[in-house]
Amino acid sequence: MFYFLSSDSRLLGKSIQPFTKSHLSTAERIFDAVASLVKIDLREHSVSVPVYDFSFPSTGSSFHTLPKISTGAFNSYFYRKHSEWQTLDPIFAICGWGLPRKSQIYHGKHYSPFGSNSIFEDHVKNSFTYISMGIGMSEIATLMHYVESMNSHGPLYRYKKTFFGTHNIGKIGYQVSIDMHCRPKGLPLEYDVGRLNSDLLHDGVVSPYLNLEKWFSASARELFEYWNDKRKMDPLYFLSPNSRQEIDKKLQTLGRPFTLSDFE
């Protein structure tokens, strides 16, 4: 089986106190305890974590061997101490132990990190189990953006923009172009994570994991199907009340989804 771990590094210490039965004074000790706990339960399975580098759109470069990991201190720790492999994706790379996941190589091509052959499609097709550690599932599930991209134009409330740059693998720099769905400048775009988490729990899509505070598990396929059904019924389902009001007003004025020229 395949497992994908996500966390809020700041909350891990409190969340694992029932397991450790003691106060862990440093981040390294907390992360060691979390890794030990995960290895005890998932020793025989393939486990991965996100090591996303969100700097690529602004800097135009990324480095496979020295990624600027944007997904928290625990993920950086896991990458240094426990990963056996790493995918080659410029922005949405993952690392882990067990069976390696295939990388997308898209030199000179347009690529969407939420399109076909993406890691998120892999998670859904192969029924990964998502585990959120110390935080609600909707607050860390980038799969949500994959669901948003199921429309041919992407989410109504983001606009598509292509970013160009160099992905450095070893001594070779590969030219890449990546399609992203960007936040609308000047408009509030907030996700209603409290309600989203409550909906997932109420409808049985997520379950408590290891009886630890705010540790949850869910099937990536079931998450996708649940959120995609919600999105089909309500394209603004993910948004907070304030964001929904402001964005719906802009959409009604335009009479169409957002485009690049609306904001840049």
Name the one residue in this structure whose structure tokens are 């907030």. Answer: 190
Q: Considering the chain, what is the average pLDDT of its residues?
A: 87
Distances (CA, A) of 215 to 73, 85, 194, 212, 234: 18, 25, 15, 5, 28
- Which of 39, 71, 32 shows the shortest CA–CA distance to 52? 71
What is d(CA 18, CA 213) in angstroms, rounded to the nearest whole number? 9
Q: What is the pLDDT of residue 211?
A: 83
Give the sign of the dihedral formed by CA 82, CA 86, CA 90, CA 92.
negative
Given a cut of 60, whether residue 18 has pLDDT beyond it is no
Q: What is the pLDDT of residue 147?
A: 95
- The H or E element spanning position 215 is strand 215-219
Distances (CA, A) of 211 to 16, 43, 133, 199, 207: 10, 19, 11, 20, 10
Lowest mean pLDDT among 21-25, 62-66, 136-140, 155-159: 21-25
Q: Which pair of structure tokens corresponds to residue 99?
A: 């069976």
What is d(CA 90, CA 167) in angstroms, rounded to the nearest whole number? 6
Q: Is 133 helix (H, G, I), strand (E, B) or coil?
A: strand
Task: State which of 7-16, 39-48, 76-85, 246-255 shows the largest mean pLDDT.
Answer: 246-255
Q: What is the pLDDT of residue 175?
A: 87
Lowest mean pLDDT among 103-107, 124-128, 201-205, 248-252: 103-107
Give residue-wise pLDDT tens across range 170-207: 888 888 889 999 999 999 999 999 999 999 999 999 99
Give the sign of the dihedral formed by CA 114, CA 115, CA 117, CA 120.
positive
Give residue-wise pLDDT tens across range 215-229: 899 999 999 999 999
User: Rounded to the nearest 10 degrees, what angle do helices 193-202 and 220-233 cross at?
Assistant: 110
- The H or E element spanning position 105 is none
Give 157's pLDDT tier (boundaries 50, 70, 90): very high
Query: Is 145 in contact with 228 (CB distance < 8 Å)?
Result: no
Q: Is 119 helix (H, G, I), strand (E, B) or coil?
A: helix
Query: Is 218 in contact with 207 (CB distance < 8 Å)?
Result: yes
Across 122-135, average pLDDT: 92
What is d(CA 140, CA 176) in angstroms, rounded to the nearest whole number? 26
Give 103's pLDDT tier (boundaries 50, 70, 90): low
Give 17's pLDDT tier (boundaries 50, 70, 90): low
